[in-house]
Structure 1
């Protein structure tokens, strides 16, 4: 049953020499169960409104959410992992897994431990033959959205560095590091999505939908980089083809992408729409740059198989740039949304 909507207009009264006050609606006090001496938090919003939140509601929001998953011996390991992952990013703090048959199989336990290793702050705190409790120990005050995005961007730049280093040195060994970095970035990605969802529950930050889409776009860049490295893991000889024909251009592309990511991050932190717009322009330039690289190298392939393999590499580079454009456009949406009433886009002309 939904609570009735209470809309009232009350007159501000003077109390003492300098204090202004209003009384609380009796119907609201009754529904909430507010009593004399109870604490409430006052939150001043950017639009000038004031929100009153009873302490008991704050405690209920901050108290760890718990949920139970019941499984059987025929439960798919994949669906078990997906369920726990979904609950983790949804903001649950305690996830209990119980067997309907009195025993959790070794295979299911192995799946649980494998997944927990990639979830920052998740630990098994209780285990019996038929029950496992996972607790997520994360203090949201230690993190910020921009800080987590910065960590993901740093991982992207490292993956790009290892990919080009492998091509320069013709060393497939460096390619293995890309998968390791992606694993760490996936952990940060899951934490970032969880953090966004927790903030949404608390109603603490605007633009959360845009931030979540932005985080996904950055993760997609990492996935594309891993796929690009896989081309050379399968065919190490193709690294020499790329190095000989477009090695210098790849160095230029790396600097271009890294610079665009830096501009994107700075625009988020500062809410600078000019910087955000610049990031979009740079991402579009990167798409054109990769397309021209691919066109220039076509006549130099020795066989159809070589062409198809290297074309797959270029497709991944384009995917990186397209996702970079998407991320930059979302960054612009966030930056412009932080401005109120007046948006000054008067360009400054340098003398």
Structure 2
């Protein structure tokens, strides 16, 4: 790339009612190979100056990074999976795993394959008896952080719908579908965290901590739903009492929680503090609603085992509500961080 210095003075012009704009120097556009529809990064420096550079150049800072993970006979499966997962989310595109002496044990190889299947864009591209190479092919230009948050939220709503449908119909097949959706949620969560790391390296956002907390909180919501479904799946006789006692209120609970999720997304999209605050209030109301359902259902179980199982089920639903409230509060923080120095509340 030609790195000759370009210094020009250009006049700021008005575009529309409130937008100011300048054109990009044609010589610079040719040097960086910028084309229509390409994304550019705008970085504001501490002194107030503005740096503009193509996103594809920013991504070169992290693309192609390689890490080698050396295993020994004392390395356990959990440690291998954790190291592989972390290597993915912190931005490594090529992960080389090598075994110190001899062949990689079958149980270690199996755990590696299991983890690779969970990582969107990751594939095993080379393998020998004592090494395995994993390449990440995910294209970050296809995603946005808000888009990934929306995708996680949509999955949560589907999981909630399957849970309520299973209770109302007594069909446990819907509970099994929740497990599949949880797996998909975990995959999107890993990709979203990787994307946050990429943005951090590119210095393109000042509220990444809040986004990471939001992503983790949404994953916790999904985990709570999956755990609630697992409890019912292990003892399906519990379903009939729930259906009989509070079956007519389950749809209301589902709509309330789904609406809360929609409000969280709307707050971020519209950068509306009032909507974010309302979403937190709705989540708090949902907690009280679930508590009332629990008070109606729990006394109906006679055996200690059934009582404890159902108590645990409602604890998962309560945890879901608490995490939704936390997500709404983080959304409020994100909206605040995007505002200018003056904030108008109405």
Q: Shorter-chain TM-score category?
A: 0.7 to 0.9
- Partner residue, 1:94: 94
| CA distance in structure 2 between the aligned counterparts of 1:339 and 1:284, rounded to whole angstroms | 26
- Shift in CA distance, 150/54, structure 1 to aligned 2, threshold 3 Å: closer
Q: Deviations over 1:35-90 (max 9, x none)?
A: xxx97x994529843237799x8475143211100112331111101100011111
Q: Deviations over 1:210-265 (max 9, x none)?
A: 00000001000111101101111121111000000011212111000000001101
Query: How far apart are residue 151 of structure 1 and its match?
Result: 0.8
Contact 1:126 1:134 in 2 (8 A): yes
Query: How far apart are residue 299 of structure 1 and its match?
Result: 3.6
DSSP 3-state at the match of 1:70: strand
| CA distance in structure 2 between the aligned counterparts of 1:111 and 1:87, rounded to whole angstroms | 15
DSSP 3-state at the match of 1:61: coil
| CA distance in structure 2 between the aligned counterparts of 1:228 and 1:270, rounded to whole angstroms | 33
- Shift in CA distance, 42/192, structure 1 to aligned 2, threshold 3 Å: closer
- Partner residue, 1:283: 283
Query: How far apart are residue 124 of structure 1 and its match?
Result: 1.0
DSSP 3-state at the match of 2:126: strand
Query: How far apart are residue 100 of structure 1 and its match?
Result: 1.2
The total of aligned residue pairs comes to 315
DSSP 3-state at the match of 2:118: coil
Q: Deviations over 1:67-124 (max 9, x none)?
A: 1001123311111011000111111111111111142222222111111111000011
- Partner residue, 2:15: none
- Partner residue, 1:120: 120
| CA distance in structure 2 between the aligned counterparts of 1:59 and 1:114, rounded to whole angstroms | 28
| CA distance in structure 1 between the aligned counterparts of 2:320 and 2:84, rounded to whole angstroms | 29
- Shift in CA distance, 60/183, structure 1 to aligned 2, threshold 3 Å: closer
- Partner residue, 1:219: 219
Equivalent runs, 1:1-351 vs 2, <5 Å: 43=42, 45=44, 48-51=48-51, 58=58, 61-346=61-346
Contact 2:42 2:204 in 1 (8 A): no
| CA distance in structure 1 between the aligned counterparts of 2:231 and 2:171, rounded to whole angstroms | 13
Contact 1:103 1:129 in 2 (8 A): yes
Contact 1:77 1:111 in 2 (8 A): yes
Q: Deviations over 1:268-306 (max 9, x none)?
A: 112111111110010010011111221233443333333
- Shift in CA distance, 253/198, structure 1 to aligned 2, threshold 3 Å: same
Q: Gaps (5+ residues) in structure 1? A: 1-14, 21-37, 347-351
Query: How far apart are residue 173 of structure 1 and its match?
Result: 2.0
Contact 2:59 2:202 in 1 (8 A): no
RMSD between aligned residues? 2.6
Normalised by the length of structure 2, the TM-score is: 0.85
- Shift in CA distance, 301/43, structure 1 to aligned 2, threshold 3 Å: closer
Q: Deviations over 1:135-162 (max 9, x none)?
A: 1111111100111111111111111111
| CA distance in structure 2 between the aligned counterparts of 1:53 and 1:142, rounded to whole angstroms | 19
| CA distance in structure 2 between the aligned counterparts of 1:207 and 1:268, rounded to whole angstroms | 12
DSSP 3-state at the match of 1:75: coil
Normalised by the length of structure 1, the TM-score is: 0.83
